[in-house]
Amino acid sequence: MSFQFSELVLFRSLAELRSESTHSYAGMLWWLIRPLLSLCVYGVFFMLIMGVKEDHFLLFLFTGVISWEWFASATLRNAGSVAGNRPLLLLVKLNPALFPLSISIVTMVKFLLGLLLLIIVVACFGSMGLSSTALLLPILILGQLVLVCGVGMIAASITPLLPDFQLLLLTVIQLMMFLSGVFNRIDTLPPTLRTWLSLNPMALQIAQYRQVILYHELPKIQDMIYIWGFGIVCCLIGYALLTKFRTTYTKIW
Partner 1 sequence: MKEILYHLENVGVCYRHFSILRQHRDGEIWALKDLSLDIFRGETIGIIGRNGVGKTTTLRLFANIISHDAGVFECYPKRITMLSIGAGFDNYLTGRENIGLNGRLLGLTKKRIGEVIESIIQLSELEEFIDLPVRTYSSGMRTRLGFAIAYYADPEVLLLDENLGVGDEAFQKKSTALIKEKLASVNQTAIIVSHSIPLIKEICSRVIWLENGRVQMVGIPDEITRAYQEYVRSSCPKIANTRVNLTK
Residues that bind partner 1 (CB under 8 A): 4, 7-8, 11-12, 15-16, 18-20, 22-23, 87-94, 161-162, 247-248, 250-253
Let me know if 137 is exposed, middle or buried by CB neighbors in 10 A (0-12, 13-18, 19+): middle
Q: How far apart are CA 171 and CA 218, in angstroms?
A: 33
Provide the greatest CA pair distance for the chain: 59
Let me know if 31 is exposed, middle or buried by CB neighbors in 10 A (0-12, 13-18, 19+): buried
Q: Is 122 in contact with 59 (CB distance < 8 Å)?
A: yes
Least distance to partner 1, CB of residue 32, Å? 20
Least distance to partner 1, CB of residue 170, Å? 19
Report which of 206, 236, 72, 213 is spatially closest to residue 143, judged by C-alpha positions. Answer: 206
Q: Is 238 in contact with 154 (CB distance < 8 Å)?
A: yes
Q: From the CB of residue 231, how many other CB atoms can be counted at a distance below 10 Å?
A: 22
Least distance to partner 1, CB of residue 2, Å? 11
Least distance to partner 1, CB of residue 250, Å? 5
Least distance to partner 1, CB of residue 161, Å? 5
Closer residue to partner 1 in complex, CB, 63/102: 102
Closer residue to partner 1 in complex, CB, 58/83: 83
Report which of 241, 235, 221, 248 is spatially closest to residue 89, judged by C-alpha positions. Answer: 248
Give the phi and the psi of residue 62 in degrees, each rounded to 5: -60, -40
Least distance to partner 1, CB of residue 206, Å? 32
Closer residue to partner 1 in complex, CB, 53/251: 251
Closer residue to partner 1 in complex, CB, 172/252: 252
Closer residue to partner 1 in complex, CB, 16/57: 16
Q: How far apart are CA 78 and CA 155, in angstroms?
A: 7
Closer residue to partner 1 in complex, CB, 23/53: 23
Q: How far apart are CA 130 and CA 132, in angstroms?
A: 7
Closer residue to partner 1 in complex, CB, 216/246: 246
- Residue 63 one-letter amino acid: T
Least distance to partner 1, CB of residue 18, Å? 6
